[in-house]
Chains A and B, each alone.
Chain A
């Protein structure tokens, strides 16, 4: 009886311990939100929101400083858009091939290679962008600056491609085979089945993979810090040197900034913006999946 009671308290203590451990991941979220928004609040006590969101010059460490975030946003947008020109079509094409055309053997051969591509650290892609892609671009377009958005975008596109391929393939593989066989029985070619039956049926999963890839591109840091440049420019010209939100944060962290200064707070306010944009994209992706989930 005594022993049993001891066992019971022991079990209870373990359960409480596990609950405490579990709350760490919730505390992480709370910590991120409080940290970012507290410093951002302080930032907006000194700088007006109108200046921040509408003016076109980002120069927080200059004298006089200027806090228009649009150049950083346009730089980030440029990378996100250009990289999706690579990751979305190539990723979707790869996924369609793997799911609808490839033999089982072929799939077993190709999938690990794509996973390998996904496992390469972003610092390596950054090196590749600066020392391989950029010289290549400059051979074709000699006016391109050493640091430019195009080179970084190509690298970011290659990095996010495997994600689109694997998530889209998962979505297409999840379409029941009976539907596929039905379409074949009506005399469709593989292409017709893929484009008219499978892709529409897997649409929500494919759309979600697109959004997650774009969100990843927006948060990508080392590639753009290395290859895209450090000049906040409000431009849509991919051959110019730009700066993204993440690139700015790295740049500031490497410099010597006083804690509590306005420059210090810019890191947090830009971080908060980055956090909100990626969070919104992830939420939309999840919403799209849930809303359009086909029930078979």
Chain B
């Protein structure tokens, strides 16, 4: 090979290198621009309808008068109840797996396979389970409680996995120090391990709950409705939620409903933003305390 052809080959390789660098960068920029277009589109369509009375009014068949109050309260009820159910169960499971279970036992192995698979089950399948077990078998009916139980099962794998990671990250020296002082296993867990693992557990749980907040599919299966004109005031009430109301409005052909659907999406996204920021702040605050 001559010197010039060698040089040409090098130039070619460097050109290809640059070319693909920009191609890969373009892939990322395309994804991010979709994010911007989506947010811009929702804001453009929805901001016009978003005012205080939109948040404090009942839904209505006349879009210019419709509001989201029952859906907003429904979301808060269901997500609040989901948190009360799923976090204790998820953290309890994580504690058992990390601190009690023999890691070579069949139970531990089955649990791990099981949690991995549950995380991949489509959310609508949880809806079918909820419909059969909670709504029909246990006769809870299409109520807030049934919705919260269903969502709890849906996000349980996420909470377990993040709690296990958080507990694992607690240095074993701290734990052993506690045992060396004669402290019992449960007291060590509640007094030493959980406080240190709390930031991770909370962050994981809040992120899981924010995922549940945007879910509609499983709740359609367990009988959440798209349109109600009363406010929920107990866990055995019928209910609607923000994603359900948005779905209901989106599936109507009139343009005015698309606009209030967009306004509803803005409210839901603000709620999601608040939960996510809370997760980040909580993590920071607790981290400082532990250190």
Q: Is A49 interfacial (CB 8 A cutoff)? A: no
Q: Which of A59-67, A114-122, A137-145, A231-239 contacts B (4 or more CB under 8 A)?
A: A114-122
Q: Is the CB of A278 within 8 A of B261?
A: no
A282 to B133, alpha carbons, bound, how many Å? 25
Contacts of A15 in B (CB 8 A): 96, 100
Measured CA separation A31–B114 after assembly (Å): 13
Instruction: From the candidates A25, A93, A117, A259, name the one contacting B136 in the complex (CB within 8 A).
Output: A259
- Given the complex, which residues of B lie within 8 Å of A123, measured CB to CB? 214, 216, 243, 246-247, 250, 265
Q: Does A203 contact B (CB under 8 A)?
A: no
A120 to B89, CA, bound (A): 26
Which applies to chain B's interface (DSSP): helix, strand, loop or mixed?
Answer: helix
Task: Check A161 for interface membership: any CB of B closer than 8 A.
Answer: yes
Task: Tell me how many residue pairs across A and B have CB atoms closer than 8 Å.
Answer: 237
B27 in the interface, Cβ–Cβ < 8 Å?
A: yes
Establish whether residues B129 and A25, one from each chain, have CB atoms under 8 Å apart when the complex forms: no
Q: Is B110's beta carbon under 8 Å from chain A?
A: yes
| Complex contact A32–B125 (CB within 8 A) | yes
- When chains A and B are docked, how far (Å) is the Cα of A172 from the Cα of B173? 33
CA of A282 to CA of B125, assembled, Å = 15
Q: A93-B23, A101-B25 are in contact. Are A117 and B31 (CB under 8 A)?
A: yes
B33-41, B56-64, B232-240 - interface stretch: B33-41
Query: In the docked arrangement, what's the CA distance between A219 and B128, Å?
Result: 13
Q: How large is the interface on A (under 10, 10 to 19, 20 to 34, 35 or more residues)?
A: 35 or more
Shortest C-beta distance, B273 to chain A (Å), equals 10
Other-chain contact of A11, B27, B184, B276 (Cβ < 8 Å):
B184
Q: Which of B115, B213, B220 contacts A25 (CB 8 A)?
A: B115
Does chain B have a CB within 8 A of A35? yes
B:40-55 near A, CB below 8 Å: 41-42, 45
Across the interface, do B121 and A279 meet the contact criterion of CB distance under 8 Å?
yes
**Set of chain A residues within 8 Å of B117, measured between Cβ atoms:** 29, 279, 282-283
Contact code string A222-235 (vs B, CB < 8 Å = 1, else 0):
10011000000000
Interface residues of B in 97-151 (CB under 8 A from A): 97, 100-101, 110-111, 114-118, 120-129, 131-133, 136
Interface residues, chain B, CB within 8 Å of chain A?
Answer: 13-14, 16-17, 20-21, 23-28, 30-32, 34-35, 37-38, 41-42, 45, 88-89, 92-93, 95-97, 100-101, 110-111, 114-118, 120-129, 131-133, 136, 153, 156-157, 160, 184-186, 210-211, 213-217, 220-221, 223, 226, 243, 246-247, 250-251, 258, 261-262, 265, 268-269, 272, 276
For the A-B complex with A101-B25, A127-B246 known, give 9 more contacts whose Cβ atoms are closer than 8 Å.
A11-B185, A94-B28, A96-B24, A117-B35, A121-B243, A191-B16, A249-B124, A253-B220, A275-B122
